[in-house]
Amino acid sequence: MDDQAHAARTTWNLLHDWWSMLPRDKRSLAAADAAIRQARKEIEWLAALPAQAAQAVLKAYAQAWRNCWDGRAGEPVFKARVRELMSVDIPQGRDLHIVRVHRRWGMVRIPLVGRVRFRWTKGLPVGKHANQENRVTGARLVRDALGWHIAFRVQTLELEPEEHMGPEVGIDVGVAVPLALSDGSVYTHDEWSTKKEQATLIRLERRAARRKSFRKPRERTSRRLRRTYDRIQGLRARAKRRHLDWQHQTTLAIARTYGTVVVEALQVTSMVKSAKGTVDSPGRNVAQKSGLNRSIAQEAWGRTVKLLTYKTTRYGGVLYKVPAPGTSQRCSTCGHTTPGSRESQAAFVCKNPDCGWTGNADHNASRNVLHLYRMGLAAIPAAGRAVVRRAGRVKPATAR
Protein backbone atom coordinates (compact mmCIF):
# COMPACT_ATOMS: atom_id res chain seq x y z
CA MET A 1 0.00 0.00 0.00
CA ASP A 2 2.87 2.36 0.81
CA ASP A 3 4.29 1.82 -2.69
CA GLN A 4 0.92 2.63 -4.22
CA ALA A 5 0.61 5.77 -2.13
CA HIS A 6 4.09 6.96 -3.09
CA ALA A 7 3.32 6.28 -6.76
CA ALA A 8 0.05 8.19 -6.45
CA ARG A 9 1.81 11.18 -4.93
CA THR A 10 4.52 11.12 -7.60
CA THR A 11 1.89 10.89 -10.34
CA TRP A 12 0.28 14.01 -8.92
CA ASN A 13 3.62 15.85 -8.78
CA LEU A 14 4.59 14.84 -12.32
CA LEU A 15 1.19 15.90 -13.54
CA HIS A 16 1.47 19.26 -11.80
CA ASP A 17 4.96 19.78 -13.21
CA TRP A 18 3.82 18.86 -16.72
CA TRP A 19 0.73 21.07 -16.50
CA SER A 20 2.67 24.09 -15.20
CA MET A 21 5.32 23.86 -17.94
CA LEU A 22 2.87 23.45 -20.80
CA PRO A 23 1.65 26.44 -22.84
CA ARG A 24 -1.90 27.35 -21.91
CA ASP A 25 -3.44 26.35 -25.25
CA LYS A 26 -1.90 22.85 -25.15
CA ARG A 27 -3.44 21.94 -21.79
CA SER A 28 -6.28 19.46 -21.95
CA LEU A 29 -7.54 16.45 -20.03
CA ALA A 30 -6.87 14.17 -23.00
CA ALA A 31 -3.26 15.38 -23.23
CA ALA A 32 -2.84 14.92 -19.47
CA ASP A 33 -4.21 11.40 -19.74
CA ALA A 34 -1.71 10.59 -22.51
CA ALA A 35 1.11 12.07 -20.42
CA ILE A 36 0.20 9.87 -17.47
CA ARG A 37 0.18 6.77 -19.69
CA GLN A 38 3.58 7.74 -21.05
CA ALA A 39 5.03 8.28 -17.56
CA ARG A 40 3.71 4.91 -16.39
CA LYS A 41 5.56 3.27 -19.27
CA GLU A 42 8.81 5.12 -18.67
CA ILE A 43 8.99 5.06 -14.88
CA GLU A 44 8.76 1.46 -13.82
CA TRP A 45 7.75 1.86 -10.20
CA LEU A 46 4.80 4.11 -11.09
CA ALA A 47 3.10 0.91 -12.24
CA ALA A 48 2.74 0.01 -8.54
CA LEU A 49 -0.35 2.19 -8.77
CA PRO A 50 -3.27 0.54 -10.61
CA ALA A 51 -4.24 2.34 -13.83
CA GLN A 52 -7.67 3.26 -12.45
CA ALA A 53 -6.13 4.86 -9.36
CA ALA A 54 -3.85 6.88 -11.66
CA GLN A 55 -6.97 8.06 -13.50
CA ALA A 56 -8.42 9.05 -10.12
CA VAL A 57 -5.33 11.19 -9.50
CA LEU A 58 -5.99 13.04 -12.76
CA LYS A 59 -9.63 13.49 -11.82
CA ALA A 60 -8.67 14.88 -8.40
CA TYR A 61 -6.13 17.22 -10.04
CA ALA A 62 -8.72 18.54 -12.49
CA GLN A 63 -11.14 19.06 -9.59
CA ALA A 64 -8.43 20.93 -7.65
CA TRP A 65 -8.16 23.43 -10.53
CA ARG A 66 -11.93 23.75 -10.75
CA ASN A 67 -12.04 24.50 -6.99
CA CYS A 68 -9.34 27.11 -7.56
CA TRP A 69 -11.15 28.78 -10.46
CA ASP A 70 -14.41 28.86 -8.52
CA GLY A 71 -12.63 30.55 -5.62
CA ARG A 72 -13.06 27.68 -3.18
CA ALA A 73 -9.35 26.91 -2.84
CA GLY A 74 -5.89 28.08 -3.79
CA GLU A 75 -3.93 26.73 -6.73
CA PRO A 76 -2.92 23.07 -6.61
CA VAL A 77 0.60 22.55 -5.29
CA PHE A 78 3.18 19.79 -5.21
CA LYS A 79 2.59 17.13 -2.58
CA ALA A 80 5.50 16.77 -0.18
CA ARG A 81 6.54 13.37 1.04
CA VAL A 82 6.55 14.33 4.71
CA ARG A 83 3.52 16.56 5.10
CA GLU A 84 1.02 14.85 2.88
CA LEU A 85 -1.34 12.17 4.16
CA MET A 86 -0.69 8.95 2.27
CA SER A 87 -3.77 7.91 0.34
CA VAL A 88 -4.91 5.84 -2.62
CA ASP A 89 -8.24 6.03 -4.37
CA ILE A 90 -10.22 3.07 -5.64
CA PRO A 91 -12.63 4.72 -8.06
CA GLN A 92 -14.93 1.79 -8.79
CA GLY A 93 -17.11 0.02 -6.28
CA ARG A 94 -17.68 -3.16 -8.21
CA ASP A 95 -14.00 -4.12 -8.05
CA LEU A 96 -14.10 -4.20 -4.28
CA HIS A 97 -16.01 -7.47 -3.75
CA ILE A 98 -16.96 -6.62 -0.19
CA VAL A 99 -17.97 -9.61 1.90
CA ARG A 100 -18.99 -9.71 5.51
CA VAL A 101 -17.24 -12.58 7.21
CA HIS A 102 -18.08 -11.88 10.81
CA ARG A 103 -20.09 -9.46 12.88
CA ARG A 104 -17.05 -7.26 13.21
CA TRP A 105 -14.96 -8.13 10.18
CA GLY A 106 -15.28 -7.79 6.45
CA MET A 107 -13.12 -8.67 3.47
CA VAL A 108 -12.36 -6.35 0.60
CA ARG A 109 -10.29 -6.79 -2.54
CA ILE A 110 -7.68 -4.08 -3.00
CA PRO A 111 -6.26 -3.85 -6.55
CA LEU A 112 -2.70 -5.23 -6.80
CA VAL A 113 -2.73 -6.10 -3.10
CA GLY A 114 -5.39 -8.79 -2.80
CA ARG A 115 -7.99 -9.60 -0.23
CA VAL A 116 -7.64 -7.84 3.10
CA ARG A 117 -9.64 -7.81 6.28
CA PHE A 118 -11.19 -4.65 7.67
CA ARG A 119 -13.13 -3.76 10.79
CA TRP A 120 -16.85 -3.55 9.96
CA THR A 121 -17.97 -0.43 11.81
CA LYS A 122 -21.00 0.72 9.82
CA GLY A 123 -23.83 -0.69 7.75
CA LEU A 124 -22.82 -1.00 4.10
CA PRO A 125 -25.15 -1.67 1.16
CA VAL A 126 -23.55 -4.89 -0.05
CA GLY A 127 -24.80 -8.35 -0.98
CA LYS A 128 -28.59 -8.57 -0.90
CA HIS A 129 -28.82 -4.98 0.40
CA ALA A 130 -27.21 -3.62 -2.77
CA ASN A 131 -29.20 -2.37 -5.76
CA GLN A 132 -29.11 0.42 -8.31
CA GLU A 133 -29.86 3.13 -5.75
CA ASN A 134 -28.02 1.73 -2.77
CA ARG A 135 -24.48 0.66 -3.40
CA VAL A 136 -20.82 1.19 -2.67
CA THR A 137 -19.42 3.41 -5.43
CA GLY A 138 -15.77 3.41 -4.49
CA ALA A 139 -13.31 3.66 -1.64
CA ARG A 140 -10.34 5.58 -0.43
CA LEU A 141 -7.45 4.21 1.57
CA VAL A 142 -5.81 6.61 3.96
CA ARG A 143 -2.87 6.03 6.23
CA ASP A 144 -2.43 7.65 9.61
CA ALA A 145 0.03 6.86 12.38
CA LEU A 146 -2.05 3.85 13.46
CA GLY A 147 -2.15 2.18 10.05
CA TRP A 148 -4.18 2.02 6.88
CA HIS A 149 -7.91 2.83 6.93
CA ILE A 150 -10.54 2.34 4.30
CA ALA A 151 -13.42 4.76 3.75
CA PHE A 152 -16.19 3.58 1.43
CA ARG A 153 -18.08 5.96 -0.80
CA VAL A 154 -21.71 4.97 -0.49
CA GLN A 155 -24.78 6.01 -2.39
CA THR A 156 -28.04 5.45 -0.55
CA LEU A 157 -31.62 6.49 -1.02
CA GLU A 158 -32.93 8.11 2.13
CA LEU A 159 -36.45 9.04 3.01
CA GLU A 160 -36.78 12.71 3.74
CA PRO A 161 -37.02 13.03 7.52
CA GLU A 162 -40.18 14.23 9.23
CA GLU A 163 -39.93 17.72 10.66
CA HIS A 164 -38.32 17.51 14.10
CA MET A 165 -40.76 18.93 16.66
CA GLY A 166 -38.22 18.90 19.48
CA PRO A 167 -37.36 21.96 21.59
CA GLU A 168 -35.08 24.85 20.69
CA VAL A 169 -31.62 24.97 22.19
CA GLY A 170 -28.67 27.33 22.18
CA ILE A 171 -25.15 25.96 22.41
CA ASP A 172 -22.04 27.73 23.55
CA VAL A 173 -18.54 26.58 22.82
CA GLY A 174 -17.47 26.41 26.41
CA VAL A 175 -14.35 27.40 28.21
CA ALA A 176 -14.97 25.62 31.49
CA VAL A 177 -17.10 22.90 29.89
CA PRO A 178 -16.69 21.79 26.26
CA LEU A 179 -20.34 22.18 25.29
CA ALA A 180 -22.91 24.08 27.36
CA LEU A 181 -26.58 23.98 26.38
CA SER A 182 -29.16 26.65 27.17
CA ASP A 183 -31.41 24.18 29.00
CA GLY A 184 -28.67 23.67 31.56
CA SER A 185 -27.26 20.39 30.32
CA VAL A 186 -23.56 20.08 29.59
CA TYR A 187 -21.42 17.70 27.59
CA THR A 188 -18.03 17.02 29.09
CA HIS A 189 -15.24 14.63 28.39
CA ASP A 190 -12.05 13.39 30.03
CA GLU A 191 -8.62 14.24 28.73
CA TRP A 192 -8.02 12.66 25.34
CA SER A 193 -4.90 10.95 26.62
CA THR A 194 -4.56 9.04 29.87
CA LYS A 195 -2.04 10.21 32.46
CA LYS A 196 0.22 7.36 31.45
CA GLU A 197 0.00 8.26 27.76
CA GLN A 198 0.74 11.90 28.55
CA ALA A 199 3.82 10.91 30.53
CA THR A 200 4.96 8.65 27.70
CA LEU A 201 4.40 11.43 25.19
CA ILE A 202 6.54 13.89 27.15
CA ARG A 203 9.27 11.30 27.55
CA LEU A 204 9.25 10.47 23.83
CA GLU A 205 9.26 14.12 22.82
CA ARG A 206 12.32 14.74 25.01
CA ARG A 207 14.00 11.69 23.56
CA ALA A 208 13.27 12.85 20.01
CA ALA A 209 14.63 16.32 20.76
CA ARG A 210 17.79 14.84 22.24
CA ARG A 211 18.35 12.50 19.29
CA LYS A 212 17.67 15.30 16.87
CA SER A 213 20.32 17.46 18.57
CA PHE A 214 22.94 14.82 17.76
CA ARG A 215 22.01 14.72 14.12
CA LYS A 216 24.52 16.43 11.87
CA PRO A 217 23.28 18.81 9.16
CA ARG A 218 22.01 17.03 6.02
CA GLU A 219 22.31 13.66 7.73
CA ARG A 220 19.39 11.32 7.25
CA THR A 221 16.99 10.80 10.13
CA SER A 222 18.18 7.73 11.99
CA ARG A 223 15.98 4.69 12.23
CA ARG A 224 15.76 5.05 16.01
CA LEU A 225 14.67 8.66 15.73
CA ARG A 226 12.09 7.75 13.12
CA ARG A 227 10.72 5.05 15.40
CA THR A 228 10.38 7.61 18.18
CA TYR A 229 8.51 9.95 15.82
CA ASP A 230 6.19 7.12 14.84
CA ARG A 231 5.35 6.39 18.48
CA ILE A 232 4.65 10.08 19.14
CA GLN A 233 2.37 10.23 16.11
CA GLY A 234 0.63 7.05 17.21
CA LEU A 235 -0.19 8.49 20.63
CA ARG A 236 -1.46 11.71 19.09
CA ALA A 237 -3.56 9.84 16.55
CA ARG A 238 -5.19 7.78 19.28
CA ALA A 239 -6.12 10.93 21.21
CA LYS A 240 -7.51 12.47 18.04
CA ARG A 241 -9.64 9.42 17.43
CA ARG A 242 -11.15 9.57 20.91
CA HIS A 243 -11.92 13.23 20.33
CA LEU A 244 -13.67 12.55 17.02
CA ASP A 245 -15.65 9.72 18.55
CA TRP A 246 -16.83 12.00 21.35
CA GLN A 247 -17.83 14.68 18.85
CA HIS A 248 -19.84 12.20 16.82
CA GLN A 249 -21.65 10.89 19.89
CA THR A 250 -22.52 14.27 21.39
CA THR A 251 -23.63 15.86 18.12
CA LEU A 252 -25.80 12.82 17.38
CA ALA A 253 -27.44 13.07 20.82
CA ILE A 254 -28.12 16.79 20.25
CA ALA A 255 -29.52 16.24 16.74
CA ARG A 256 -31.87 13.55 18.07
CA THR A 257 -33.13 15.60 21.01
CA TYR A 258 -33.62 19.09 19.61
CA GLY A 259 -35.53 20.40 16.60
CA THR A 260 -33.82 23.79 16.43
CA VAL A 261 -30.17 24.13 17.30
CA VAL A 262 -28.56 27.57 17.56
CA VAL A 263 -24.82 28.09 17.67
CA GLU A 264 -22.46 31.02 17.68
CA ALA A 265 -21.05 32.05 14.33
CA LEU A 266 -17.55 31.90 15.70
CA GLN A 267 -14.39 32.62 13.77
CA VAL A 268 -11.77 30.57 15.53
CA THR A 269 -8.84 31.76 13.44
CA SER A 270 -9.69 35.45 13.83
CA MET A 271 -9.90 35.00 17.61
CA VAL A 272 -6.43 33.54 17.70
CA LYS A 273 -5.17 36.42 15.58
CA SER A 274 -6.92 39.17 17.54
CA ALA A 275 -5.19 38.21 20.79
CA LYS A 276 -1.85 39.06 19.26
CA GLY A 277 -3.04 42.51 18.16
CA THR A 278 -1.12 44.64 15.68
CA VAL A 279 2.30 46.29 15.74
CA ASP A 280 0.73 49.66 16.68
CA SER A 281 -1.56 48.24 19.35
CA PRO A 282 -0.21 44.94 20.60
CA GLY A 283 -2.74 42.76 22.39
CA ARG A 284 -2.83 42.58 26.16
CA ASN A 285 -2.72 39.30 28.05
CA VAL A 286 -1.71 37.57 24.86
CA ALA A 287 -0.49 34.51 26.69
CA GLN A 288 -3.74 33.98 28.60
CA LYS A 289 -5.94 34.82 25.66
CA SER A 290 -4.04 32.71 23.18
CA GLY A 291 -4.06 29.92 25.78
CA LEU A 292 -7.84 30.21 25.86
CA ASN A 293 -7.92 30.46 22.08
CA ARG A 294 -5.74 27.46 21.74
CA SER A 295 -8.13 25.43 23.82
CA ILE A 296 -11.01 26.70 21.65
CA ALA A 297 -9.13 25.58 18.59
CA GLN A 298 -8.43 22.30 20.30
CA GLU A 299 -12.05 21.71 20.94
CA ALA A 300 -12.36 21.87 17.17
CA TRP A 301 -15.53 23.87 17.28
CA GLY A 302 -15.61 24.09 13.53
CA ARG A 303 -15.86 20.35 13.20
CA THR A 304 -18.57 20.14 15.84
CA VAL A 305 -20.66 22.61 13.86
CA LYS A 306 -19.99 20.70 10.65
CA LEU A 307 -21.18 17.46 12.24
CA LEU A 308 -24.19 19.19 13.79
CA THR A 309 -25.15 20.67 10.42
CA TYR A 310 -25.61 17.38 8.64
CA LYS A 311 -26.88 15.46 11.66
CA THR A 312 -29.65 17.95 12.44
CA THR A 313 -30.67 17.89 8.77
CA ARG A 314 -30.77 14.11 8.80
CA TYR A 315 -33.09 14.12 11.84
CA GLY A 316 -35.35 16.82 10.41
CA GLY A 317 -34.03 19.66 12.53
CA VAL A 318 -32.42 22.99 11.58
CA LEU A 319 -29.14 24.56 12.62
CA TYR A 320 -28.93 28.34 12.93
CA LYS A 321 -25.88 30.52 13.42
CA VAL A 322 -26.09 33.81 15.28
CA PRO A 323 -23.45 36.56 15.45
CA ALA A 324 -21.32 36.00 18.53
CA PRO A 325 -20.23 39.39 19.98
CA GLY A 326 -21.19 40.06 23.57
CA THR A 327 -22.72 36.71 24.37
CA SER A 328 -20.19 36.10 27.10
CA GLN A 329 -20.57 39.55 28.72
CA ARG A 330 -24.34 39.98 28.65
CA CYS A 331 -26.49 38.74 31.49
CA SER A 332 -28.99 36.26 30.16
CA THR A 333 -31.57 37.18 32.82
CA CYS A 334 -31.71 41.00 32.64
CA GLY A 335 -29.77 41.75 29.45
CA HIS A 336 -27.34 44.04 31.24
CA THR A 337 -23.92 44.13 29.56
CA THR A 338 -20.84 44.84 31.62
CA PRO A 339 -17.54 44.43 29.84
CA GLY A 340 -15.42 42.45 32.23
CA SER A 341 -18.34 41.26 34.33
CA ARG A 342 -16.93 37.77 34.18
CA GLU A 343 -15.22 37.16 37.50
CA SER A 344 -13.41 34.17 36.12
CA GLN A 345 -13.69 31.99 33.04
CA ALA A 346 -16.10 29.65 34.81
CA ALA A 347 -18.45 31.94 36.76
CA PHE A 348 -20.67 34.78 35.59
CA VAL A 349 -21.76 37.47 38.03
CA CYS A 350 -24.21 40.13 36.85
CA LYS A 351 -23.12 43.65 37.87
CA ASN A 352 -26.63 45.08 37.55
CA PRO A 353 -27.61 45.92 41.18
CA ASP A 354 -31.26 45.01 40.52
CA CYS A 355 -30.36 41.58 39.17
CA GLY A 356 -27.14 40.10 40.51
CA TRP A 357 -27.62 36.77 38.73
CA THR A 358 -24.76 34.39 39.19
CA GLY A 359 -24.14 31.17 37.39
CA ASN A 360 -22.02 29.20 35.04
CA ALA A 361 -20.53 31.49 32.39
CA ASP A 362 -20.94 28.98 29.57
CA HIS A 363 -24.56 28.34 30.50
CA ASN A 364 -25.16 32.10 30.49
CA ALA A 365 -23.63 32.45 27.03
CA SER A 366 -25.66 29.57 25.58
CA ARG A 367 -28.87 31.21 26.88
CA ASN A 368 -27.81 34.41 25.13
CA VAL A 369 -27.21 32.49 21.92
CA LEU A 370 -30.75 31.13 22.01
CA HIS A 371 -32.09 34.59 22.89
CA LEU A 372 -30.39 36.14 19.84
CA TYR A 373 -32.05 33.54 17.64
CA ARG A 374 -35.49 34.27 19.14
CA MET A 375 -34.91 37.97 18.42
CA GLY A 376 -34.52 37.01 14.77
CA LEU A 377 -30.80 37.55 14.49
CA ALA A 378 -30.00 34.20 12.96
CA ALA A 379 -28.20 35.50 9.92
CA ILE A 380 -27.15 32.24 8.38
CA PRO A 381 -29.71 29.46 8.24
CA ALA A 382 -27.17 26.72 7.72
CA ALA A 383 -28.15 23.88 5.40
CA GLY A 384 -31.52 22.87 6.69
CA ARG A 385 -35.01 21.68 5.99
CA ALA A 386 -35.81 24.28 3.34
CA VAL A 387 -32.96 23.13 1.14
CA VAL A 388 -33.89 19.49 1.46
CA ARG A 389 -37.59 20.11 0.90
CA ARG A 390 -37.01 21.54 -2.54
CA ALA A 391 -35.30 18.33 -3.59
CA GLY A 392 -38.60 16.46 -3.33
CA ARG A 393 -40.01 13.70 -1.17
CA VAL A 394 -37.15 11.26 -1.65
CA LYS A 395 -33.62 12.39 -2.12
CA PRO A 396 -30.57 10.40 -3.12
CA ALA A 397 -27.82 11.15 -0.66
CA THR A 398 -24.15 10.49 -1.03
CA ALA A 399 -22.28 9.83 2.16
CA ARG A 400 -18.95 8.57 3.18
Cα–Cα distance, 89 to 35 (Å, whole number): 20
Nearer to Zn ion, 247 or 332 (CB): 332
Pairing outcome for strands 168-173 and 260-265: parallel
Nearer to Zn ion, 310 or 357 (CB): 357
Give the shortest CB-181-to-Zn ion separation in angstroms. Answer: 20
The correct pick among 34, 347, 355, 379 for binding Zn ion (CB under 5 A) is: 355
Pairing outcome for strands 347-349 and 358-360: antiparallel
Nearer to Zn ion, 167 or 184 (CB): 184
Taking CA atoms, 229 is separated from 84, 225, 298, 378, in Å, by 16, 6, 21, 46
Q: Is 357 in the site for Zn ion (CB under 5 A)?
A: yes
Q: Is 257 in the site for Zn ion (CB under 5 A)?
A: no
Q: Is 350 in the site for Zn ion (CB under 5 A)?
A: yes
**What residues numbered 312-341 form the site for Zn ion, per CB under 5 A?**
331, 333-334, 336
Residues linked to residue 397 through DSSP beta bridges, in sequence order: 156
* Contact window for Zn ion (CB under 5 A) among 125-133, 203-211, 261-269, 356-364: 356-364
Whether the CB-CB separation of 366 and 186 falls below 8 Å is answered with: no
Give the shortest CB-368-to-Zn ion separation in angstroms. Answer: 11
How many residues lie near Zn ion (CB under 5 A)? 8
* Contact window for Zn ion (CB under 5 A) among 102-110, 187-195, 300-308, 357-365: 357-365
Give the shortest CB-350-to-Zn ion separation in angstroms. Answer: 3
Q: At what angle do helices 301-314 and 223-257 cross, to 10 degrees?
A: 40
Give the shortest CB-335-to-Zn ion separation in angstroms. Answer: 7
Whether the CB-CB separation of 19 and 33 falls below 8 Å is answered with: no
Whether the CB-CB separation of 342 and 283 falls below 8 Å is answered with: no
Nearer to Zn ion, 233 or 333 (CB): 333
3-class DSSP state for residue 268? helix
Nearer to Zn ion, 335 or 381 (CB): 335
* Contact window for Zn ion (CB under 5 A) among 33-41, 127-135, 201-209, 343-351: 343-351
DSSP annotation string for 237-261: HHHHHHHHHHHHHHHHHHHHH-SEE
Give the shortest CB-130-to-Zn ion separation in angstroms. Answer: 59
Cα–Cα distance, 168 to 182 (Å, whole number): 9
Give the shortest CB-342-to-Zn ion separation in angstroms. Answer: 13
Give the shortest CB-333-to-Zn ion separation in angstroms. Answer: 5
Residue type (1 letter), 336 = H
Give the shortest CB-334-to-Zn ion separation in angstroms. Answer: 3
Per-residue x/- marks for Zn ion, 173-192, CB under 5 A? Answer: --------------------
Nearer to Zn ion, 356 or 381 (CB): 356
Residue 348: closest CA among 368, 327, 364, 367: 364
Q: What are the phi and psi torsion angles at 329 (to 5°)? A: -105, -15
* Contact window for Zn ion (CB under 5 A) among 10-18, 57-65, 101-109, 352-360: 352-360
Kindly report each contact of residues 121-130 with a partner whose C-beta sits within 8 Å and lies 24 or more positions away, as own/partner.
Answer: 124/98, 124/152, 124/154, 125/154, 125/156, 126/98, 126/99, 126/100, 127/99, 127/100
Q: Is 358 in the site for Zn ion (CB under 5 A)?
A: no
- Contact residues for Zn ion (CB under 5 A)? 331, 333-334, 336, 350, 352, 355, 357
